[in-house]
Structure 1
Amino acid sequence: MCGRYTNALTWREIVRLYRITEPSAANAPNLEPRYNLAPTQSAPVVRHNPETGGRSLDMLRWGLVPHWAKDMSIGNKLINARAEGIDTKPSFRSAFAKRRCLVPAGGFYEWKKEGTKKQPYAIALKSGEPMSFAGLWENWQDPDSGEWIRTFTIVTTEANEFLAPLHNRMPVILHPTAHSLWLGETPAKPDTLKALLKLYPADEMQAWPVSTRVNNVRNEQADLWDRLDPVNPA
């Protein structure tokens, strides 16, 4: 699964990297660096607008709430969408067909059981480049207030050989060449889209132990991403 990730990119950096055309970068909000993004929190998501043909960057709530849900609590269970059967499962099939998105990230965290404890690890690309998680998004209307709430989920697949010792699942990381296809800018059949949900090359990834302070979602300091000092562990 993917239950925590980072995104320290500024709004303008995301606009440039993902070629965002709407809204104007001149009207961009101040996006604070996030080193411990957790479910139910808002995060920047890249989407395709089929009416204008452009890409937008919006803040969506992490934890997918299908349009047919009675309340938002289901979103706590749908922070991830398994790639296997994503086109047939009731919670995801509509979003997979029409509402796919990219989730910018600097990397993510995973926990490895070591004895009686779980040691958190940071996972990133060796290149230092940001990751683009495959995501799905939904619109849900609160039946009481009438408010429309946009939510997203991160697609996961089986872990590659590098991450398997840490966890049996990992987020789907899309190469930039696949962005247009996944966003729906280029028409594609379901089988073509599902073929994108593959393992990221193990030899392009790196991991290192980090402080257990990342366990607490209230901790957001930049040093959470730092390599754990074995002499003075935090």
Structure 2
Amino acid sequence: MLMCGRYSVSKKKVPQEHRFSSKLEGLVFEPNFDARPSQKLPVIIPDAEKAIMATWASPEKEPDGKPTFPFNVRQENLLRIPRFRALLPHHRCIIPIDGFFEWKELEEDLEEPAPAPQPDLGLDLFGNPIRSKEEKSRSKKAKPQKQKYRFTLKNEEPFGLAGLWRESLLPDTGELVSCFSIITTQANSAVMPYHDRMPVILSPQSENIWMDNRLQERQWYNVLQPYDSHKMRVMAIDEYESVLGNYVAPALNSK
């Protein structure tokens, strides 16, 4: 199951006094309430006065078919997989967001009524019983209904996710492009009912450690912990409205 494949970011939600404000100043990007892999989004990189726009994940593939730079990188793979470990010393980054999303399948409360008897339509050319349209429709596996949830900080302030970034040349055009990946860790008690993984949320203090190139690998790695669940808020929201930036409860949906 995918982890943190959607989030929201809007410069309008970053207060002037917030630590991200000066980094995002002058950067042109539209509010995105359904940010997803392949889109260009703001990223804060070490030793840079301003944030950059980078593409979330890279379409390039390894010889084994796996993505060179996926949209998520597991914390435990950072030191194990050489291409990620090589980026760790100088290509750590912070992804500024104001919330991320997960989906959970809803349990069916009602049992389906028993199907009505169908008329005998005879056999087809291969000797199989001919099924009615109703039977064919019923035999198709229905997609389970899912509820969308939004995860934020309780104080509703923007926050940063730990990530990796890199630059690469496009083979067709020779253009230098930037891309990034979000680091995930084990879920805390707030996220666990919805997914067993969560993005690494950095506190202001751990952001400073994560972005300090003078520190050692162990110090960077130690900040990659599940965030304090008591500081987080989870709310069920309407799928359609949330893409518009309206985080309303499903019962209030008016579409």
TM-score, scaled to structure 1: 0.81
Q: Aligned AA for 1:35?
A: F
Q: Aligned AA for 1:88?
A: R
**Residue 174, structure 1, aligned to residue 202, structure 2:** yes
1:18 positional shift: 3.0
1:197 positional shift: 0.3
- The structure with the larger Rg is 2
After superposition, where does 1:217-232 map in structure 2 within 5 Å? 220-223=243-246, 226-230=247-251, 232=253
**Residue 83, structure 1, aligned to residue 106, structure 2:** no
1:227 positional shift: 2.6
Partner of 1:46: 44
- 1:213 counterpart (225, 240, 255): 240
Distance in 2 (CA, whole Å) between partners of 1:47 and 1:232 is: 39
1:65 positional shift: 6.6
- Structure 1 residues 205 and 46, CA, compared in 2 at 3 Å: closer, same or farther? same
- Structure 1 residues 212 and 18, CA, compared in 2 at 3 Å: closer, same or farther? closer
Q: Aligned AA for 2:201?
A: I
Task: State the secondary structure of the residue aligned to 1:134.
Answer: strand
Task: State the secondary structure of the residue aligned to 2:51.
Answer: strand
Distance in 2 (CA, whole Å) between partners of 1:163 and 1:126 is: 14
- Structure 1 residues 61 and 11, CA, compared in 2 at 3 Å: closer, same or farther? farther
- Structure 1 residues 183 and 228, CA, compared in 2 at 3 Å: closer, same or farther? same
- 2:49 counterpart (55, 63, 79): 55
Q: Is the 8 A contact 1:126 1:206 kept in 2?
A: yes
Distance in 2 (CA, whole Å) between partners of 1:3 and 1:132 is: 16
Q: Is the 8 A contact 2:70 2:181 kept in 1?
A: yes
After superposition, where does 1:96-175 map in structure 2 within 5 Å? 96-115=88-107, 116-175=144-203
- Structure 1 residues 197 and 64, CA, compared in 2 at 3 Å: closer, same or farther? farther
Structure 1 alignment gaps of length 5 or more: none
Partner of 2:220: 193
Q: Is the 8 A contact 1:78 1:153 kept in 2?
A: yes
1:229 positional shift: 3.4
Task: State the secondary structure of the residue aligned to 2:82.
Answer: coil
Distance in 1 (CA, whole Å) between partners of 2:159 and 2:31 is: 15
Q: Is the 8 A contact 2:238 2:253 kept in 1?
A: no
Task: State the secondary structure of the residue aligned to 1:3.
Answer: coil
Q: What is the aligned length?
A: 215
Q: Aligned AA for 1:18?
A: F
Distance in 2 (CA, whole Å) between partners of 1:15 and 1:87 is: 36
- Structure 1 residues 95 and 229, CA, compared in 2 at 3 Å: closer, same or farther? same
Q: Is the 8 A contact 1:65 1:151 kept in 2?
A: no
Distance in 1 (CA, whole Å) between partners of 2:13 and 2:232 is: 25
Q: Is the 8 A contact 2:4 2:198 kept in 1?
A: yes
Distance in 2 (CA, whole Å) between partners of 1:12 and 1:121 is: 22
1:97 positional shift: 2.1
Partner of 1:34: 32
Q: Is the 8 A contact 1:45 1:104 kept in 2?
A: yes
- Structure 1 residues 182 and 103, CA, compared in 2 at 3 Å: closer, same or farther? same
- Per residue, is there more strand in 1 or in 2? 1
1:56 positional shift: 2.4
TM-score, scaled to structure 2: 0.75
1:85 positional shift: 2.7
1:88 positional shift: 2.6
- Structure 1 residues 207 and 6, CA, compared in 2 at 3 Å: closer, same or farther? same
* Percentage of matched positions with identical amino acids: 29
